Structure 1
């Protein structure tokens, strides 16, 4: 067992604190990872605010990269010294989704069985089964994906959640390809990643929609060909105007609210695709869309879980594209901070001042 510094949320809506935690030695199928960098994601704030569940205290942080320090019995996929990105959907290989060759839908994903604790023995709930606002963390070995060690940890770690969710929503879920038109509603970290993924896939037109001109300027740097400030312009009408009056082939809702979903539904072309990747709250209901419109417009209405990614397939590929200069992951890193700066990073996130603050250890 080791003792390390970590960021813990002890109670709903209370400020986080730096605590000394106990990290057990890895058991069968587990690994201890020395964390090098971890992004500050909205999901961490949702945990702190009690928006995920009430299993306090939480060990926050999950968008992480680092180096494997030790592994438990039976682990042969990674070894000490490997540079890895952590993921929160370690596939089982045995459930009905995995057996039909759709492992990205795995219904029985793995986390470490042993528990990290506070000094007094209180068990911690690691965010998304990772808990990486810590000098070291214990995870299931399947949550470790080995990638090129020359990649910047601050950039690489973002593939662990938000950036992968956005890129995957475009390429994996939305099947964006050469010549397609795409609209992305919401230009935070996930939305801008969807824009970057659409541009990478060869979309002919990438329309960014947001209320904030600062975010729209960032979207242009990520590959948006057109921008729409939905505070000033009806986004549905403007997306149609920019696509010859038809609507976009793929519309990605990276906000996850009833009103943005309704905009996405009506901003797509006939037989077009809507992708919901923004996470709604439990109280939200589907917007009032006549069922005849669902039938009459055809196409597909999809939800994107973690960008429908398969970490063992997608992380190394995207890191290779990053190393080749074809995917600018560094552009998502707004600032580098320390473990003591998490609360201030949450404030900047609320104000929309950053794509990602990244804790560097």
Structure 2
């Protein structure tokens, strides 16, 4: 048996309880979790919002960001061995759909996500297919290794188009938004403008490399953006907030021919002015899901190994697994960067 955080019913919250250690199949690996971090998706599930009500089927163990040690391997596992220090790509793909057959595994039509569609890693152990594992350097800190998956979201969002010499606005300074700030700066953006309503997180954005920060609740972000860009608008917007007003402002602040990359998960339909803010401006709009497998992981590893992106400022809190409710409370209040749990 093992301790795990279980989404135990169709209501807000979760419980810590004893569950069976997963049994692995012949191509799977059992991993002892060393560190697991709380994602915005986990907060959706914990809060039981409209998105999670339509997607999640409790009871089950949630959580999907982690690092850990391989402790058991299946009979047909050949690429990893016991003792390896790993993180994991959390999208389990089918290899049969048209997207997979054309190499676009990250948008597999039959994707299963750990901690969403099957048991996850808010636990002492997690089982995963061998092909989903990413080997980490043995000296990488456990908490840094646990946030490579969400950093992959940030990398995929920022680098889904050219940013060298361009102005980039990051809307929403939650943990992935903060990582996006660091990635955009490392990738050569001329300006990295961070927008949020939370002063605590705007301060973290400055530490991550933002050249300007805007509190959208205290001033008009569109007016400030115009001044910062000599009335041109920003070249790239990375939408991380999911807030309808912020999304609308994001479309309005983009220059003609610019790019809008949307990672956020609005819980309700969003109204936008397609005619004036998309069509007449000739902008590109891209939905971002997951990470490219495994191109983005290579980019993440390279950025961390080179030191061009330092994640230290945005990892602000550590708790034992038993105190998970403190982590979710901080995430809901926004008084944190990344929260890491330790089983």
TM-score, normalised to structure 2's length?
Answer: 0.92
Classify 1:70/1:316 alpha carbon distance in 2 versus 1 (closer, same or farther; 3 Å). Answer: farther
In the alignment, which residue of structure 2 is the partner of 1:28? 26
Q: Given the alignment, which residue of 17, 20, 39 partners 1:19?
A: 17
In the alignment, which residue of structure 1 is the partner of 2:89? 87
- Deviation at 1:14? 5.0
Q: Does 1:50 align with 2:48?
A: yes
In the alignment, which residue of structure 1 is the partner of 2:286? 302
In the alignment, which residue of structure 1 is the partner of 2:184? 198
In the alignment, which residue of structure 2 is the partner of 1:123? none
Cα distance in 2 for residues equivalent to 1:239 and 1:255: 17
Q: Does 1:289 align with 2:273?
A: yes
In the alignment, which residue of structure 2 is the partner of 1:78? 80
In the alignment, which residue of structure 2 is the partner of 1:152? 141
In the alignment, which residue of structure 2 is the partner of 1:322? 304
Aligned residues: 339
- Deviation at 1:292? 4.6
- Deviation at 1:338? 0.3
Q: 3-state DSSP class of the match of 1:23?
A: coil
Cα distance in 2 for residues equivalent to 1:77 and 1:106: 23
Classify 1:240/1:190 alpha carbon distance in 2 versus 1 (closer, same or farther; 3 Å). Answer: same
Q: Does 1:169 align with 2:152?
A: no
TM-score, normalised to structure 1's length?
Answer: 0.88
Q: 3-state DSSP class of the match of 1:80?
A: coil
Cα distance in 1 for residues equivalent to 2:56 and 2:102: 35
Instruction: Map residues 121-270 of structure 1 onto 2, 5 A cutoff.
Output: 126-127=115-116, 129-161=118-150, 163-171=151-159, 173=160, 175-270=161-256
Q: 3-state DSSP class of the match of 1:334?
A: strand
- Deviation at 1:110? 5.3
Contact in 2 for aligned 1:88/1:129 (Cα 8 Å): no
Cα distance in 1 for residues equivalent to 2:189 and 2:56: 42
Q: Given the alignment, which residue of 53, 60, 68 partners 1:66?
A: 68
Classify 1:15/1:210 alpha carbon distance in 2 versus 1 (closer, same or farther; 3 Å). Answer: closer
Q: Does 1:10 align with 2:8?
A: yes
- Deviation at 1:291? 2.1
Which shows bigger deviation, 179-188 or 128-137?
128-137
Instruction: Encode CA deviations 1:259-310: one digit per residue, 9 max, x unaligned.
Output: 11111111011000111111111xx22324152542210020111112x432
What RMSD in Å do the two structures reach over aligned CA positions? 2.0
Structure 1 ranges of 4+ moved more than 6 A = none
Structure 1 unaligned spans of 5+:
113-125
Cα distance in 1 for residues equivalent to 2:335 and 2:270: 30
Cα distance in 2 for residues equivalent to 1:215 and 1:336: 17
In the alignment, which residue of structure 2 is the partner of 1:357? 339
Contact in 2 for aligned 1:8/1:60 (Cα 8 Å): yes
In the alignment, which residue of structure 1 is the partner of 2:327? 345
- Deviation at 1:70? 1.5
Cα distance in 2 for residues equivalent to 1:129 and 1:142: 17
In the alignment, which residue of structure 2 is the partner of 1:102? 104
Cα distance in 2 for residues equivalent to 1:111 and 1:245: 42
- Deviation at 1:84? 1.1
Cα distance in 2 for residues equivalent to 1:160 and 1:222: 18
Structure 2 unaligned spans of 5+:
none
Cα distance in 1 for residues equivalent to 2:9 and 2:80: 35
Instruction: Encode CA deviations 1:240-274: one digit per residue, 9 max, x unaligned.
Output: 22111111110111111221111111101100011
Contact in 2 for aligned 1:88/1:130 (Cα 8 Å): no
